[in-house]
Structure 1
Amino acid sequence: MAEERVEAVERALTLLEAFADGAPQLSLAELAARTGFYKSTILRLARSLERFGYLVRGDDGAFRLGPAPARLGALYRDRADHGGLIRAALRRLRDASSFTASFYLRSGETRTCLYRENSEREIRHHLEEGARLPLTLGAAGKVLLAYTEKPATDTQRRAAQKLRRDGYAVSQGERDPFIAAVAVPLLDAGGAFQGALCLSGLAAQFTEGQKEHCRDLLRQAAAELQDQLR
């Protein structure tokens, strides 16, 4: 049976996805370039999205995200009080390590920073909640792939098995040459995979000793959270 799809819905969601890189506003021409849609199609979709608060069009003609995505995001982040537990753990990780602590979920072929506590150092790796990053690059991406992707090759299978056996992943300059990170899987009390806990910072600050320290902090945080996520 063919997968059922609603083309109009997918186009509307594609329009919203055009803002996924954090662009504060986009012109009609920019939306057309990013989505590949005709301008007339964008205007038709935008009217419906504006009606429900997903888009706002300013007097300058530029489009911005409306309040509806933020409202839904807040509901999702705080479901079952898990958000409060994870945020508290991220604050403890940040304070114990001085690095930026974050929690990632897989979003299709990307990863989304659902929660984060930025380092309080003046020079740091700064993240925004809701940021979408490549799934195939970075420590958190490796963890997400190992737990959510069926390996297509023997090399991928061995890499996933090794990560799950070791219980952590490290990246050094993969997505950004100046950023390094360590990540571990977060499981709930039933053993179900929830996402990736990550500590990241400037690569120059991530010595081998710091990586080991961050790994141990993350493992401890994940173990404590697992008992709480029921």
Structure 2
Amino acid sequence: MNIKLLVLITAALIPTFCVAGTHQGNTSIQSFSKAKKHMQRDIYTVPNHMKTLYCGASFNRDKYIKLPHGFITEVHKKRTKRWEAEHIIPAENFGRAFKEWREGNEVCVDRKDKPFKGRKCAEKANKEYRLMQSDLYNLYPTIGAVNATRQNYNFVMLPNTVDKSYRTFGSCKMVIDSKGKKAQPPERSRGMIARTYMYFEAAYPKYNMSRKQRQLMDAWDKQYPVTQWECERSERIEKIQGNKNPILISRCN
């Protein structure tokens, strides 16, 4: 091969490898339970920022929530007392990229020798899935009732028209279209949500946003800039998890 051509090819390839190296996801935490403990003990410990993502509900070090005035829910009422760790990109939405989730695995057999698949199998049989599931950048505290109602719905901007299928939470501006399986988050959370989606796509080859979803996240990212707490949270996660958030590196300096 022509030496000059070889040099050009090599030069073109080197930046690609460097970029890929900086976009590494979680490589240290494989336990979702451990990730939740880190959230409680090491991340959400600053009084002014011990609040749930969507509704801004305050909570204490034992995870007990003080519901905001005017918050209401018709469903999952028992799950309003303590915050839960919500996957901004739902586990099912990236989990289905794994064969173990879709088809199962030889190690996924219960005590009665009955095979199983889905989340439990992916968690048991695939390390990459466990790392993605436990990534602290993708986990935020939310009121359990809101978490349960949102399920694995994608975020969108819903029409202003009132629909009977919409689930609302009173003073909390989270709106969930249970019929259309979509959710519209409050403005206070949209920037963080957008940059979480952007991080996840940058960090994990198995996850890709749709074109429409990427357009929305790009818009929210521009409309709702990074906050000081978002940067501090990222620093805390980096100390625990080891990897930087490439989306926030330049914005937090």
Q: Quickly name the TM-score band, shorter chain normalised.
A: under 0.3
TM-score scaled by length of structure 1:
0.28
More strand by share: 1
The structure, 1 or 2, with the larger RCO (C-alpha pairs under 8 Å, 6+ apart) is 2
TM-score scaled by length of structure 2:
0.26
